[in-house]
Amino acid sequence: MPGPFDNNMYNHNKIDKQFRWLVEKLRCLEKDLGNFDFNPIGFKEISLPVVTQEPTDVLNVCVSLINALPKFELDGQLIPFFKTKLKDTHYTLCFTELVAKGSFGLSSGTVIKRENLFVVSKEKDFGIEDVIQGLKYINTDIVPETQGGFFQGEPATSSQGLTISQFNDKLLFPAIRPTISFNANNLTLERGTDYTQQITINFTQGGAGNLISYSLEKDGAEISTTQVTQFEQNNVRANFTLQGKVSHEAGVTISAGTISTQSVTIRQRLRIWFAPLSSVPNTSTDVRGMSSNAFDNANSLNLNTGTTNKTFVVAVPTEVTNAASLSAQDVTNNVPYTYNFIRTVDVVLPDNITEEYRVYALVVDNAYSLAANHIIQI
């Protein structure tokens, strides 16, 4: 007589691989017990409804599903497997006694209880969306040029990376970054001049959270915490920088942080004075009274001779040059000239401190009938 698990009693290939242990268990029972009284046994699959919500207790949910099935009969010849999907997980359950006989389901008079079932297997349902969402793009290199929400100068992603949907959202729907500006500008002043400026910091929130604080810094040190600052620096004799900053809270897509304006530099320089004159200057007033000037970082000057004077003068700070002469070129008439050193003059600066200047001059015999341009090398 064939045994209960001979191949002619069931199609082995159709048995779910997750239930093969049951077959092995019953084989062992049959072998150990010898005349173990089992009729030939097969398998019966019973499908339960799908539940879309996450279950708090799998067995209780499945008991309710089985008891709510239309009335069905089990003859004790088959092992019933109950299969269902709860939320995104597939479950297979079996009776604790493996087989059962009688009527079950609605109006059957038999009520399945929690202790009558056990979970044979569960398997997470990984759909294509789950796979896609599980993929991440990780690139901590600095972005060379802004593309969408990938901003220049920042890492492309954090070390945790971005999912595909996060990557697409960041590229196609970039966060609106907060911006800051202020009305201070790069400026060059004559040494000893006062600098006065009402400085206003402007903040545009964008996708950031609310503003927390303002800050105005001079040379990296905070000097004001208000939006508007009346800034004054008297007798400027050293370069300095100004920069505005704003701290803000986190927004939906923008982290909390601090943003800064560009740093601007207020520079001080000495002036070079030059002009056509009737005579060579002797005093500070004479030097500062010349009609043209340039800051001391100029490499050359363009002196227009006019048609009246025969003396052409340049006064240069001694700290810039102590040369015995300056080379020049009459570019109008293509004639080279030399401006010779005449004397030094102590020139009074805006803060009433004097600075030594060297006065150079070119004297010609006759005034120009047509004005010419002298390019003088410093």
pLDDT of residue 13: 40
Residues in the chain with pLDDT < 50?
1-18, 33, 35-40
| Rounded Cα gap, residues 336 and 243, in angstroms | 47
From residue 66, alpha-carbon distances to 88, 98, 107, 110, 246 in Å are 19, 16, 12, 11, 64
Instruction: Output the CA–CA distances (angstroms, integers) from residue 197 to 180, 227, 234, 265, in the order listed.
Output: 18, 13, 11, 13
**pLDDT, position 40:** 46
User: Going from the N-terminus, what domains does the chain have, and what CATH number goes with each?
Assistant: 7-124 (no CATH), 128-172 (no CATH), 179-268 (2.60.40.10), 270-377 (no CATH)
pTM here is 0.60
| pLDDT (0 to 100) of residue 151 | 82
Q: What CA–CA distance (Å, rounded) separates 277 from 361?
A: 10
CA distance 209 to 300: 52
**pLDDT at 23 (0 to 100):** 56
Name the amino acid, one letter, at 90. Answer: H
Q: Are 304 and 337 in contact (CB under 8 A)?
A: no
Write the pLDDT tens digit of every residue in 5-59.
333 333 334 444 445 555 555 555 555 545 444 444 577 899 999 998 888 899 9
As beta bridge partners, residue 74 has 102
